[in-house]
Chain A
Amino acid sequence: EVQLLESGGGLVQPGGSLRLSCAASGFTFSSCTMRWIRQAPGKGLEWVSAIRGSGESTYYADSVKGRFTISRDNSKNTVYLEMNSLRADDTAVYYCLCTTMTTGGQGTQVTVSS
């Protein structure tokens, strides 16, 4: 069974940091380009970042470039999103997905507030 499980979200003050993890199982993780997307309360979806299967290429939305870093550990079937200099407008539910699969994670809530 394909599963993606996000973790690492929480409440953080502006300027703080968080590291999100997405643990995958049930498929060949190293073959999958992984994508993080987010959804602010009451809003639509926003693409955040992506990383190719071997990790050699990474991509970022302008809104997070220079603050967020995506990485993966194929030996642990896990993709990460390191988030620094967090701002109030980063508040959202963050989801990870494999670009060619329908199953995604249930999301992890990130709240940036003082």
Chain B
Amino acid sequence: QSALTQPASVSGSPGQSITISCTGTSSDVGRYDYVSWYQQHPGKAPKIMIYDVNNRPSGVSSRFSGSKSGNTASLTISGLQTEDEADYYCDSYTSSNTRVFGGGTKLTVL
């Protein structure tokens, strides 16, 4: 199973909105609504920010939202804050009954 494709880096200014894409295939992202997004600050444990494409766990800011179109899922962060600067990973359930991660995207808040 090949890794999902994410941009290596994205950047934005405080207050702006950014979107991180996560491209898979018809065997994973395109087939199932089981995409999660993780946030990881340097040296810290990853946290789930979105599950099942567009669901926010309790305690996650409404500034984080998820969507999917075809084989590509997206994470949008609105009203960027400096504390949003982190690495973001997507993962998806696959037709092999496994999950596959993307390579990660470094978000820089300028």
Contacts and interface: CB of A to CB of B under 8 A. Distances in A.
Contacts of A102: 47-49, 57-60
Interface of B: 1, 36, 38, 40, 45-49, 51, 55, 57-60, 89, 91, 96-104
Contact of B104 (A45, A101, A106): A45
Given A45-B40, A45-B104, A100 B98 contact: no
Contacts, number: 62
Contacts of B96: 62
B48 A44 contact: no
A97 B98 contact: no
Interface of A: 35, 37, 39, 44-47, 50, 59-62, 95, 97, 99-107
B98 A104 contact: no
A104 B48 contact: yes
B91 A47 contact: yes
